[in-house]
Structure 1
Amino acid sequence: MKKLLAITALLAFSIAFSQQKPKFTYIRPLIGTAKMGHTFPGATVPFGSVQLSPETDTVAFEKDRKYNGKVYEYCAGYQYADKTICGFSHTHFNGTGHSDLGDFLIMPTVGKLQLNPGTADHPENGYRSKFSHTNEVSQANYYKVKLEDDNILAEMTTSQRVGFHQYTFPKSDQAHIILDLMANIYNHEEKNVWTFIRVENDTLVTGFRQTNGWARTRTVYFAMSFSKPIKNYGFKNYDQENIYNGFWRKFDQSKNFPEAAGPKLKAYFDFATAEGEKIKIKFALSPVSTAGALANMKAEIPHWDFEKAKSDGQNLWEKELDKITVETINDEDKVNFYTAMYHAFINPTVYMDADGQYKGLDQNVHKADGFTNYTTFSLWDTYRALHPLFNLVQPKRNRDMIKSMLAHYDQSVHHALPIWSHYANENWCMIGYHSVSVIADAIAKGNDDFDTKKALEAVVSSSNMLYNDGIGDYVKLGYVPEDRSGASVSKTLEYAYDDWAIAQMAKKLGRNDVYETYSKRAQNFNNVFDKKSGFMRPRLAGGTFKKEFDPLDTHGQGFIEGNAWNYSLYVPHDVVKLTDLNGGKEKFTQHLDSLFTMQLPDKYFENTEDITRDGIIGNYVHGNEPSHHVAYLYDYLGQPWKTQERVRMIIRKMFHSGPDGLGGNDDTGQMSAWYIFTSLGFYPVAPGSDQYALGSPLVKKATLKFENGKTLVISAKNQSEKNVYVSKIELNGKEIPRDFISHSQLVNGGELTFYMSPKPKK
């Protein structure tokens, strides 16, 4: 009888286990594809070099760049509201506020050959096609859509460095695959320096593209393989009149000629297809050479089994998602959580061939020795929560990212770590030198299997680089003067935080001289606080504060992506002193309360799209990163119940599972990392410290599997929509304060239990 019961129980468990949905099935890449989220819906694997996704328009950036209009609509190439698709390209940013990439656009068509994209109003005038979301599927590593105008079913999946297309055609003697080397997301038709294409045989095409877009010089090589021999092919060079062809003019280079070159080049490949016939394309990328691209293809997808490639990539996602298993109040929360993990694990991207070769910042070919080289470092965004998340659940990858940053430093003529870099280019975008925060945070949390001596040298060098706006004045005067450098207050505050991070790093490495120097610099935030107004305020080189000052205005007031209200709260490394500046705990609490409850007058939105209101609660701007730590400041004021209340309110207002489900740019995973931390019940207010501020978890239960082999189980007892307050927290059965918890306490594993309540415990 006992054996029978045991067998029955085992069978029931096996059935229940088999009925569990894989975690990757909860991912909805369409979240964030509407409005300002700037995510892409196409296929990619974790941290993949290829992001194969549809483009719904062709221009994302214009010379007259304003904070409105279409210039910001296509940073990821796709807007959910659009009705047409231009094609499918192989590289995309995820959730940025700036555009680039969109390399090698492919579009299948039938009938009369048209090499221009046409327009959204008249797609019939080009290769563009209408589509419907009812015939669109967007999943982890899989995208499918019906191209209605030509009755073609488009499907795509990826490996690390290869995009795999599958197009199901109708019966036609005029089936075409168009390869548009002019199309890009930064600025259509104007940013190519040079392109080259070579038809190696009747199924293999190679080439490269060099662009001068946001990145000044960016070269990507490709190898393109067809599952079926090409019937005919041809090229069109849209800059023919400006190219000296010399003796090449004796050939007809437009049709069935083996190679072509020029800045404005398009190619087409003709086929005859039977009804329902599938033409497959493997499109491999390399930062080094066409030979590297072909080797990547052979290494990663040597076969033509589309379903296998799709499944292999989805298994990679399942492996990454398995680092955190959650039970939630409802299924939508599970969708949001795993999609946040998905978005957080797209960038930075692997940037090297399968053999480790990559192009460096010096434009020479290097080989990653003992590490994976990464690119796409949007550090002003990601130092806040994304890299701290990696230190928790992706420590090896984060170490390799730091090694990639140190390689960047070695290759930099400025002797500087990355600011905002991608594809062997430094874009110098945004402010601060936040690589130092990423490195300091890893060292603080014991994730420092890299050359720490060299790292300290690199962070000190980066902090003193006079090419950085206002650094000379900052060191000499103790602040950045507004009359010499715009966004001066934001720069002063962020430099001060970074200097504190350097000090913590130096202290741990036993360099007391560096610690003392940077601890002093870290106090420079005091120099831009105006006691009279009660806000951080721009100062002039002569020492006086700027006279014209509106703490609610975001324009010309000394701040970037925020106003004085937002940035006056940005001293994450010394909240005690910030509290004193604001008149003590009681007054500072009132100030924080006002931030969330005040109503901004309409005049502050006159020069921006109404869409920018989506990320705002009162004057709290969740859509911009400088505010991401603010709700957790109540913990430092002895009022953790207000942190609990605010974070649960923010998470409900700023996130949902629709295409417009993000309250702003995902910013290469920062917004999603905030969601993950907050859902788990804690947040890294000051990376560079090993402390997390505690909040109110959204999950009912979460199991974190760490790379050290240990497991942490987070439980929220009595969890519900109404029970947002925490009455008690226990770690391994022992009650702990409701304010803070250390990194070591988490990664040592065990059980972290939150006891939830409908009423605050003050």
Structure 2
Amino acid sequence: MKPYILCLLAVLSCLACTSQNVDKAVESETDPVEQVYPLLDAANSRWFFFASACRPFGMVTLNPDTQNEGAWGSGYKYNTDTIKGFSHIHGWQISGVSVLPVSYASYDEGILDDYFSSFSHDKEDAQVGYHKVELDRYNIKAELTSSTRVGFHRYTFGNQNEKGIVFKLSGALGPSDIKDGSLTLIDEYTLHGQMTNEPTRRRPKDFVVYFNVKFDQPIKSIEKGSSDNQIVTFEKDVDQLQMKVAISYTSNENAALNLETEIPDWDFDQIVADSKSEWNQMLGRIKITDEDETQKRRFYTDLWHGLQGRRIISDVNGAYPDYTGEEPRIGKLPLDENGKPKFNHYNSDSFWGAQWTINTLWGLLYPDIYNEFVNSLLVYYKDGGIIPRGPSGGNYTYVMTGSSATPFLVSAYQKGIRDYDVETLYEGLKKNHLSKGIMSKAGYEHKTSLGGGLDHYIENGYVPYPIPEGNFGYHQDGASLTLEYAYQDWTLAQLAKALGKTEDYNIFSERAQNYANVYDAESGWMRPKSIDGVWKEPFDPYQYENGFNESNGAQSTWFVGHDIPGLAKLMGGNEVAVKKLNAQFEEAAKLDFTPGNSHERGEDPTRARIPINYGNQPSIQTAFIFNQLGRPDLTQLWTSKITKQTFGGLSPETGYSGDEDQGLMGSLAVIIKLGIFQMNGGTEANPIYEFGSPLFSNVEMALQNGKTLTFEKKGNGIYIDHVSFNGKKLDNLHISHDELNQGGVLIFNMKETP
């Protein structure tokens, strides 16, 4: 029996034992929000992965936490049966405001520490914009929803005991520890509070969270004990209690303003409806028509994840936290003629791998969101002098490596997304690519600029492994750094060319060829090289890391998206390259193209020996390399298999191999299923979309310029016979951004054999 059939049977069995109403969702043709399955991959969760009661890119992501400690395996983890709180912030390196309703016969301060409750999935309902669970210990039905910056709770009590809500004000909460938590009674219905996220390995400074709390029932008391936690109590005759919790990263006053602006009333059901409506507007930009209802559900879940993870950190009035300097300050975003912020400011994990994921999805379907992120990154540049590769808490984290924002920003410009100061953008990017720029920093290297080996790269044409100066951060893997820098240099060269900066274009184009300096012709692989020019010995192309960043040599050898013909020439020609890469795919297919269903398994030395890995970013472009080697049939073959084997499941146990980095893998799944891809991240002038094997019979896209773009699949099989656009047969298996952006009908005429 084929693996994807086994996976489907497991999915159906799992769905039957949850409160997700599959039949209702399948019947809905107009509401894509009802197709989303929030529990996808929830058994392999991480702090910022799972979401339910949230808005697109919402500051508030309100959902139950079953694990409180650690960035990985924390937050909502499906196979843990105890709820430890409802947290409002599940962001990249930030957390906060965890609460849990309780009931008790008589108050004992011991409940401030021992307040967790078991729950059952049989009495749970996780939807987009809404989450319901029943706390078995207290006989409480808890319902959660939110606006962008406000969490809204509705608790229904099943007994006449005393009632209260415990506020967790210290201790481990996801990626960071909480300290200095406090609650202040403003009036009998209102609280102010604040807490501080302590520094992490990635986020180097304290980060303060402010919150404003409103209840629809009068507060009886606030109790404190030996614990830092506190409990807000209510009269025992309260049968139902509603609570609103507004977040701000600038002040209690702005938290209160966020609350009054976004949820001034007490209509919980209306906020749920508003949340679904907002998500429908975002997800509804794509309408899928196909007989495979399971794959439609998975597609909308993928799309939903493509709009998750990266979170707003600015208030409704445009105030935002700036921690880039010596002392924290409150910044202010520019306002429009109506006094509203022109864009939002964001917290974000790295853009490492975004060139093959959100660049394409956002650039085609969400240019409005894309433009906001460009402006947000420029705010960081204005404040701190660096365009970040992953900002958290209003500050730099130096997450991952290189200048991963360069392809993201260049692709925006090349696709006509340009509502910002382009010269300032170029100035910031060029600075990142020069000595002491962000390329000079290894992962989480906060105080020095040596771990990235950029000076060696500029002087010698490659980053040595090991870096002779020593260890200063993470991911000091010279071969991968060389490949990343070369690709990113090429993308910056394209922007320099577009802006008429010929000298810079020539410099960065020449640097873009440095990838060849870590190619070892004798072994046929990219290979780490010492400062003395000596190849690493012993060398095993399937050994995890040891010169390669979250990958191995077999996977990273193909990280040359800007010059596949040049890479093939180094290997001895297209035929040799095709044979080599196809053999890697044949082996990887036996493992469903991933080393396991979680990030931890992907780092296991044995599992990590997989030759192609679609569970992490470094080799997710490889199926489309065959297009550029003259074998589009192999691109079509392998993309069809990846679609089903890697991104076809629909259960808590599978989804993205546990490494869904804030929309990157969800976006990848979407674009592969649409049958399009951009090998160099859409960074050339008038970027092209090359074709794979599309999954669905009909896809209708509402573009933001008012045009409609339709993809149709005709005929059986996974192989493309020919493609036509607006009635004209295309000469090549690709099409430009300008053409697609004008709307029309793209028809894939399929066949069963190559």
Task: Determine if the TM-score, normalized by the shorter chain, exceeds 0.5.
Answer: yes
Select 2:645's aligned residue among 653, 662, 669. Answer: 653
Q: Which amino acid aligns with 2:131?
A: Y
User: Is 1:102 the counterpart of 2:95 in the alignment?
Assistant: yes
Counterpart check, 1:419 vs 2:409: no
Q: Is 1:662 aligned to 2:672, yes or no?
A: no
By how many angstroms is 1:368 displaced?
1.1
Say whether residues 1:29 and 2:38 are aligned partners: yes
- Residues 186-585 of structure 1: pairs in structure 2 closer than 5 A: 186=174, 191-214=177-200, 215=203, 216-236=205-225, 238=227, 265-274=228-237, 277-360=239-322, 361-362=324-325, 363-369=328-334, 370-412=342-384, 415-466=385-436, 467-468=440-441, 469-484=452-467, 486-556=476-546, 558-585=547-574
Q: State whether structure 2 residue 736 is matched by structure 1 residue 742.
A: yes
| One-letter amino acid of the counterpart of residue 82, structure 2 | T
Distance 1:599 1:699 in 2: 25
Report how many aligned residue pairs link the two structures.
684
1:692 has 2:678 as partner: no
For structure 1, which segment, 510-519 or 29-38, has the greater mean C-alpha deviation from structure 2 after superposition? 29-38
* SS class of match (1:91): strand
Counterpart AA for 2:285: K
C-alpha distance in 2 between matches for 1:599 and 1:377: 28
CA distance in 1, matches of 2:361, 2:288: 16
Larger Rg: 1
Work out the CA distance in 2 between the residues paired with 1:576 and 1:601.
Answer: 28
Q: Answer whether contact 1:41 1:138 (CA < 8 A) is retained.
A: no
**Measured at CA, do residues 565 and 205 of structure 1 come closer, stay the same or move farther in structure 2, by a change above 3 Å?**
same
- What residue in structure 2 maps to residue 6 of structure 1? none
Q: Distance in 1 between matches of 2:141 and 2:282?
A: 30
The answer to whether the 8 Å contact 2:677/2:691 transfers is yes
SS of residue matched to 2:663: helix
- 2:642 alignment partner, SS class: helix
State the 1:21 CA deviation: 4.3
Runs of 5+ unmatched residues, structure 1? 1-17, 62-71, 94-98, 119-124, 239-264
* Aligned counterparts of 2:109 and 2:486: Cα–Cα separation in 1: 53
CA offsets per residue over residues 271-308 of structure 1, 9 Å max, x none? 12448x21111000011100000000000000011001
- Aligned partner of residue 446 in structure 1, secondary structure: coil
Q: Distance in 2 between matches of 1:643 and 1:657?
A: 24
| Aligned mates of 2:173, 2:28 — CA distance in 1 | 42
Letter in 2 for 1:629: Q
Asked if the contact 2:360/2:671 (under 8 Å) is kept, the reply is no
Deviations 1:632-684 (A, max 9, x none): 00100111111111011011111211112313221101111111111111012
Does the 8 Å CA contact 2:552/2:609 hold for their aligned counterparts?
Answer: no
Shift of 1:31: 0.7
Equivalent AA in structure 2 for residue 198 of structure 1: T
Aligned with 2:343: secondary structure?
coil
The answer on 1:704 being equivalent to 2:701 is yes
User: 1:54-69 alignment to 2 at 5 Å?
Assistant: 54-60=64-70
Runs of 4 or more consecutive aligned structure 1 residues displaced over 3 Å after TM superposition? 18-21, 112-118, 183-188, 599-602, 607-618
Where in structure 2 are the equivalents of 1:66-215 lying within 5 Å?
A: 72-74=72-74, 77-93=75-91, 100-111=93-104, 113=107, 126-186=114-174, 191-214=177-200, 215=203
**CA 1:237 to 1:300, structure 2 compared with 1: closer, same or farther past 3 Å?**
farther
Percent identity between the two aligned chains: 30
Is the contact between residue 206 and residue 290 of structure 1 (CA under 8 Å) also seen in structure 2? Answer: yes
Contact 2:155 / 2:242 at 8 angstroms: preserved in 1? yes
One-letter amino acid of the counterpart of residue 73, structure 1: G
1-side partners of 2:652 and 2:537: how far apart?
44
Deviation, 1:41, is 4.0
- 2:235 is paired with a residue whose SS is strand
- The residue identity in structure 1 corresponding to 2:568 is T
Cα distance in 1 for residues equivalent to 2:116 and 2:108:
9
Cα contact 1:26–1:335 (8 A) shared by 2: yes
Q: Distance in 2 between matches of 1:657 and 1:739?
A: 31
Compared CA separation, residues 218 and 514, structure 1 to 2 (3 A): same
1-side partners of 2:110 and 2:98: how far apart?
A: 12
For residue 178 of structure 1, report the CA deviation from its aligned partner.
0.5
How far apart in 2 are the matches of 1:616 and 1:732?
45
Task: State the alpha-carbon separation in 2 of the partners of residues 693 and 658 from structure 1.
Answer: 31
What is the CA-CA distance between 1:171 and the residue it aligns to?
2.7
What is the CA-CA distance between 1:232 and the residue it aligns to? Answer: 1.7
Give CA deviations for 1:395-440 in whole Å, capped at 9, x if unaligned: 122111111111111212xx32112212212111111101111111
Once the two structures are overlaid, the 10-residue window that deviates more, 543-552 or 452-461, is: 543-552
For residues 428 and 733 of structure 1, do their structure 2 counterparts lie closer, same or farther at Cα, with a shift above 3 Å needed?
Answer: same
Indicate how the Cα distance of structure 1 residues 196 and 610 shifts in structure 2: closer, same or farther if over 3 A, else same: closer
Distance 2:110 2:718 in 1: 55
Partner of 1:625: 617
State the partner residue of 2:711. 714
Query: In the alignment, what sits opposite 1:241?
Result: none
Deviation, structure 1 residue 371: 2.5
Over 3 Å counting, the alpha-carbon distance change for 1:407 and 1:269 in structure 2 is: same
Asked if 2 retains the 8 angstrom alpha-carbon contact of 1:615 and 1:622, the reply is no
The answer to which of 210-219 and 533-542 deviates more is 210-219
Contact 1:145 1:153 in 2 (8 A): yes
Deviation at 1:615, TM superposition (A): 9.4
In structure 2, what is the Cα distance between the partners aligned to 1:151 and 1:707?
47
Match of 2:16 in 1: none
Measure, in 2, the Cα distance between the counterparts of 1:552 and 1:86.
Answer: 41
1:248 counterpart residue number = none
Alignment RMSD, CA only?
2.4
Output the CA distance in 1 between the equivalents of 2:308 and 2:726.
Answer: 34
Per-residue Cα deviation, 1:316-344 (whole angstroms, up to 9, x for no partner)? 00111121111123111111111111111
Residues 145 and 115 of structure 1: CA distance in aligned 2, closer, same or farther (over 3 Å): farther
1:643 aligned partner: 635
| Matching residue's letter, 2:585 | F
1:705 shift after superposition: 0.9
CA distance in 2, matches of 1:677, 1:366: 36
Amino acid at match of 1:757: K
After superposition, residues 577-616 of structure 1 pair within 5 angstroms as: 577-598=566-587, 610=601
| Contact 1:540 1:546 (8 Å CA) reproduced | yes
| Structure 1 position 195, deviation (Å) | 2.6
Change in 2 beyond 3 A, CA 1:645/1:601: closer
User: Partner letter of residue 589 of structure 1?
Assistant: V
Q: Does 1:49 align with 2:21?
A: no
Distance (Å, rounded) in 2 between the aligned partners of 1:19 and 1:88: 30
